[in-house]
Structure 1
Amino acid sequence: MFARVIRLDDSDLNVFDLAAEPGEWAVPGTFAFSNWSEDDLSGKSRQAFAHGWLGLSSFGRASVVAVTPITAAEKAALADALAAHFVAAWGAPDLDAARPVAGEEIAHMAALCEGHPENSLIVLERELTGAGVRDRFRIVPPQGAALETFAVHGD
């Protein structure tokens, strides 16, 4: 199991500089905030910090993800894409150096989804503490209606 972006309404389009698209695979993406301070927390950046999942296609942010099945090949491709992002956007020296870190990020997301039923929703709350950034996850089990009746989260 892994997380896919869903969009319950259009609010992500308004609260993030770049909104992730429904159906994208996602990770918390907390690494993007590792050097942040209170001075960095304003406007749309604050919303991305406080509640934003990182979509792994657009590298935009989303407020909600849903637990969905994933294949081993898809997870491997996600690790490669994230490693390439680490090189292109975060200054990793090369793909060989970035792959293990990307693999850890992918494994963390898979572990977070493990054991939860398909279509469980996950929301993220992130805060700055004296020890750094702290993530909290809230799992919302699937309700009576199928999630597909009111949200799009991929094929």
Structure 2
Amino acid sequence: MLKLPRTLRLDQSDLRIFPRAAEPGEWAVPGTFAFLERNPAVYEGKDRLAFSSGWLGCGSFGRSTLVEVAEVAEADYFAAVERLARHFVEHYGAPDLGAALPAAREEIDHAASLAQDHKIGTLLAMERHLDDAYHIRERYRVILPSRSEEHTRIWTLVEDESDEEP
């Protein structure tokens, strides 16, 4: 079984804290490559938050604070690789799709390696920072799913569909 991280939105905070928020349910990669063109030490505000904690969704190319480990169909895996390769051509100067595909596959495979040893539904969060030598370092936190046989869920998040102001 192949697993990949998939973006998750537990509340509306990603819409407020990132320059662009990923849509829920997108396949995700760490996306650190997006921070290599500029010195991350100069980032401020939303860009700083995207650098420090944002996974990259492979559909919208927005950021997500959390991802969940999910099973991915082979066709969806290859579609994510191709979508990311097209993004490399359109936004990062890759000369063509053929040149971009190996880099995209490497990025997707790295994301799969982060998910592979965890149960479906496990949440992953990322912390990214610059070390003293100005190298980007990543640390991943694992949030295990609750064991429903031992605990009863006492609340559920639902989307507010009213037109009223809060």
Q: Pick which of 99-108 and 124-133 moved more.
A: 124-133
Q: 2:130 aligns to what SS in structure 1?
A: strand
Give yes or no for contact 1:2–1:110 (8 Å, CA) kept in 2.
yes
Give CA deviations for 1:25-77 in whole Å, capped at 9, x if unaligned. 11100000123325532010000000000011100001000001001211111
Match of 1:139 in 2: 142
C-alpha separation in 2, matches of 1:57 and 1:38? 24
- Letter of the aligned partner of 1:143 in structure 2? S
Match of 1:4 in 2: 6
1:49 to 48, 51, 59: 51
Structure 1: tracts of 5 or more residues without a match: none
What's the Cα RMSD here?
Answer: 1.7
- Letter of the aligned partner of 1:115 in structure 2? D
**Aligned-pair distance for 1:107?**
0.5
C-alpha separation in 1, matches of 2:144 and 2:70? 13
Match of 2:33 in 1: 31
Match of 1:123 in 2: 125
Structure 2: tracts of 5 or more residues without a match: 160-166
TM-score (norm 1): 0.91
**Aligned-pair distance for 1:151?**
7.6
C-alpha separation in 2, matches of 1:150 and 1:114? 27
**Aligned-pair distance for 1:131?**
4.9
C-alpha separation in 2, matches of 1:108 and 1:4? 14
Give CA deviations for 1:95-128 in whole Å, capped at 9, x if unaligned. 0110000000010011110120010000000001
1:104 to 103, 106, 109: 106
Higher relative contact order (CA 8 A, sep 6+): 1
1:93 matched to 2:92: no
Match of 1:40 in 2: 42
- Structure ID, larger Rg: 2
TM-score (norm 2): 0.85
Give CA deviations for 1:68-101 in whole Å, capped at 9, x if unaligned. 1001211111110000000001110100110000
Give yes or no for contact 2:53–2:126 (8 Å, CA) kept in 1.
yes
